[in-house]
Amino acid sequence: MSRKPAKPAAKSAPVKSSSKPVEVVGHAVERALDPLTSALKRAGLKRADKAASAFDDHAPAAPAAPPTGKVDKAAMPVSPLAVSFPRMKPIRGVTMATGRAGFYKHERDDLLVMNFPEGASCAGVFTRHGVGSAPVDWCKRHLEVTKGEGVRALVVNAGCANSFTGRPGADAVRRVASAVGKRFDCRQRDVMVASTGVIGVLLDDAKITARLPDLEHHLTEDGWGGAARAIMTTDTFPKGAYAEADIDGTKVRIGGICKGSGMIAPDMATMLAFVVTDAAITPGALQNLCNLYTRNTFNAVTVDGDRSTNDTLLLFATGQSGAAKISRAGDRRLADFRDKLERVLMNLAHQLVRDGEGATKFIKITVTGAESAASARKIARSVADSPLVKTAFAGEDANWGRIVMAVGKADEPVDRDSMSVKFGPHWAAQDGLIAKSYDEAKMSAYMKKQELEVSIDVGVGRASSTVWTCDLTKRYVEINGDYRS
């Protein structure tokens, strides 16, 4: 392990994402980038659909998942929508190690440490939750200070969210960052921290710092599977995604992991996600990419409509691939990289929905004919988050009346007499009435599928939006009723 003194942080554009709504930042970023980015944005939905099919490459998930609490003691089954963990090559420049800090009573790894080389860049997008958490506050503040330059380490624990813990929680984070900084010869502000678990419980930082010496001697460049398992809470399978891209003739790698199963809603979806590339991209450009592609990925999925206090997406660039250094997100040399990065983020976001607590259906909801993109998103989320809609899906009932109800309660412009609803290829309603071709038998057969699509045209404009969600089952109530007990 390197023992060279850390270099002072370089100056660059301030990180913007932590202080403004993601959607507002997204619009600002699009205006700031060159015309190529606008063209890419117009093709966004096509890329999203293409990315959704990436799951076809996954094998069925493993038959068991690590225990994670009372519900797991009852042999919590792996989600029927699960996908297997992908084959991920090492990302040059990052090493990682996992261990048991003891935040759970049973045997399982619950601690992850990643080490990055000098000169690495970092960008982040975080929850807009009004309460927030000590780890989120730490990352937002220090990314602002360092401008994303010189991040050297990441520490993640599962089992304790360290949220709503006041000054003691903030002090615990500082002590963790300080201890890790001493191990990796860097400043404490160069250490990113993330936590997940029960809200309102103070982090016992001594459990983390006591494990650092052992983790330091077990750092490996090929530990993605273990890393994904270590950050799980009520997840039933580890989540990862990997892609390779070309930057001006040089092959670069992109890999990431995430966790999340319940308390999943946009801004951001409940989750932690950590994505690393060995491309050389400046912090400002990395932040723009992070802002831009979060919008149609992590901010376009929902399980239960509840936003987390700890949501964090961190994107790291080690610069170890040998590719030319890129300083603009709109640089034409990044065309393939942008596409692959969005696919990785979309893949991870979809896996959150596939592991929705108690989920049995993976559902794509697309709204077209809306007055604006923002209006389309709001309508799609209203449908995706409706308990009545979600329970109908759980019962395999194509209850299009509930869809229409959820559209109307979004309080967005719609034309009732022009509205249409379609389940997969089957029309349920057209022009404000039940469709003449409606066939109950065909509809019922379609609803038995594990992956479903609902298309809604509200008849007032040309804007569209897509949201991915899951059904709401009795198992969701059981899991959350037993979460702390």
pLDDT < 70 positions in the chain: 1-75, 129-132, 261-270, 304-310, 482-485
Q: How far is Cα 44 from Cα 193, in angstroms, rounded to an integer? A: 31
Q: What is the pLDDT of residues 395-450, one digit of tens each?
A: 999 999 999 999 999 999 999 999 999 999 999 999 999 999 999 999 999 999 99
Please name the amino acid found at residue 311: D
- pLDDT value for 133: 87
Question: Which residue, among 304, 342, 312, 227, has the nearest Cα to 472 in the 3D structure?
Answer: 304
Structure tokens that stand for 428 in this block: 């349920």
pTM, rounded to two decimals: 0.83
* Per-residue DSSP letter, 118: T
Please name the amino acid found at residue 115: N
Report the catalytic residues. Answer: 270
- pLDDT value for 9: 34
Are 92 and 257 a contacting pair, CB within 8 Å?
no
Q: How far is Cα 48 from Cα 26, in angstroms, rounded to an integer? A: 17
Q: Which residues pair with 426 in a beta bridge?
A: 423
| Beta-carbon contacts of residue 91 (< 8 Å; ≥ 6 apart) | 221, 253, 254, 255, 276, 277, 278, 318
Are 356 and 241 a contacting pair, CB within 8 Å?
no
Residue 137 dihedral angles phi and psi, to the nearest 5°: -60, -40
Three-state secondary structure call for residue 240: strand
- pLDDT value for 438: 95
Q: How far is Cα 342 from Cα 48, in angstroms, rounded to an integer? A: 8
Instruction: Kindly state the helix (H) or strand (E) to which residue 291 belongs, with its residue range.
Output: helix 283-294
Q: How far is Cα 37 from Cα 14, in angstroms, rounded to an integer? A: 21
